[in-house]
Amino acid sequence: MSVGTTTGSERLRNDMVDRLAADHAAKGLTLRPEVEAAMRTVPRELYTPGKPLEEAYKNTAVVTKRRGEESVSSVSAPFLIAEMLGQAADALEGLEGRHVLEIGSGGYNASLLRELVGPSGSVTTVDIDAEVTDRATACLAAAGYNDVTVVCADAEQPIEPGRRYDLIIVTAGAWDIPPAWRDQLTDDGVLVVPLRTHGMTRSWALRRSGDRLDSESHRQCGFVPVQGAGAHGMQYVDIADGVHLRLDEGQQVDADAMGGLLTQPRQEAWAGVSLPPRTVLSDLDLWLAIRLIREVEQFVVLTAQEAAIKAGTVAPSWQFGTPATIHDGTFAYRSELSWTGRMFDLGAYAHGPAASAAAGRMVEHMRAWVDAGCPPPVLHVLPAHTPDGDLPDGAVLDKRHSRLVLAFTPTHEKGTH
């Protein structure tokens, strides 16, 4: 199905996939053989025209369209594509013969899906931007994938009324899940979607069961946001040079007051735990979100540029998105890790009149997560009209179209201290 490639392209492509397999193994994951084979087959450089060959095979996203400074379309990073395709294949026990709808076009992912579904399956890819779909059509044709259906439309609405798909995979960051995505799935179909909850994005593999969706796996990720009727912009508030707060659920913040807090002495608290490098701290971040929201005035996400971290303005756990709280005129956030040999401890930093209490509060929730066995989150998605009494147990986050329920099931009673 694909055209011949140059020796240089083949070498770079195989090197890329070798690195992906090693990275998966380091995370305790397995790169599914059929996903590996597809990624060794499809020439990625045909979907990044005008870019150097070496850039096409870096393990990073390649931006293909900007609006001012904003990226509005890209070819996703290979590691993320591999993980999301793996989520889909795991949930459906393979993609051979499946009928797939991709929301968010670039061409490369659609061609990988076409390899995975085989001759008896089908792939439809949709994007709201005609420039993007025209480009995807041209790239797919250049690579020999003429049997992928490309549609220009807003995927907030059904693409082909009455048609259903075994898999819908979304390659743009969503804030909500519109009914059309659920309704276009087969009765036990799977939706793989990068969904923002409390300003943090996870790729969720969600299986349909009637009018609800239940998660089977998740991965931390980041994508350019959904456009059209489903768009929901995040607000960024600058509180110091190179330091920002990400607001995603209607919060309001006094930027001047927050900036003043960072000039006050820093207090810290530590959980006193000893955790291995493979601990999935993105799971902890969602645990903190759903628990701290009940206790504080504001739960936000802290982001920081490298220069601000080097200057000591802040020292977050992750510069691209760290849980933070505002309460009693005090700002607290999950801190950088404290390493002893190959193990690490969890901590919190806080500034303001109640700094010690704020850091201590956050650390108590960290200890609780470790004591519960560092459990992963489970997500349930139900229609917006679902009564409270019909919701499963968990923390509820109401969106426009849906009610999200996040829950954690403890895996054991005591962690490692």
For position 63, what pLDDT does the model report?
A: 72
Distances (CA, A) of 247 to 20, 203, 233, 355, 367: 33, 20, 9, 22, 26
For position 410, what pLDDT does the model report?
A: 85
Instruction: Name the helix (H) or strand (E) containing 416.
Output: none
Global pTM value:
0.94
Mean pLDDT by 10 residues, the chain (417 residues): 62 96 91 97 94 91 64 78 97 98 95 98 97 96 97 96 96 96 98 96 97 96 90 91 93 89 96 96 97 96 97 96 96 98 98 98 98 97 98 97 95 51
Residues 6+ positions from 33 with CB-CB distance below 8 Å: none
Q: Which residues are catalytic, by number?
A: 76
Cα angle value 162/397/218 (rounded, 5°):
70
For position 155, what pLDDT does the model report?
A: 97
Using DSSP bridges, classify how beta strands 99-103 and 122-127 pair: parallel, antiparallel or unpaired: parallel
Cα separation, 370 vs 411, in Å, equals 10
For position 222, what pLDDT does the model report?
A: 85
Residues 6+ positions from 387 with CB-CB distance below 8 Å: none
Is 122:113 a contact under the CB 8 Å cutoff? no
Of 293, 307, 324, the C-alpha closest to 398 is: 293
Q: What pLDDT, in 10s, does the model give residues 285-335?
A: 999 999 999 999 999 999 999 999 999 999 999 999 999 999 999 999 999
Cα separation, 414 vs 368, in Å, equals 9
For position 259, what pLDDT does the model report?
A: 87
Is 344:253 a contact under the CB 8 Å cutoff? no
3-class SS of residue 81 = helix
Q: Which two tokens stand for residue 101?
A: 């709808």
For position 415, what pLDDT does the model report?
A: 43
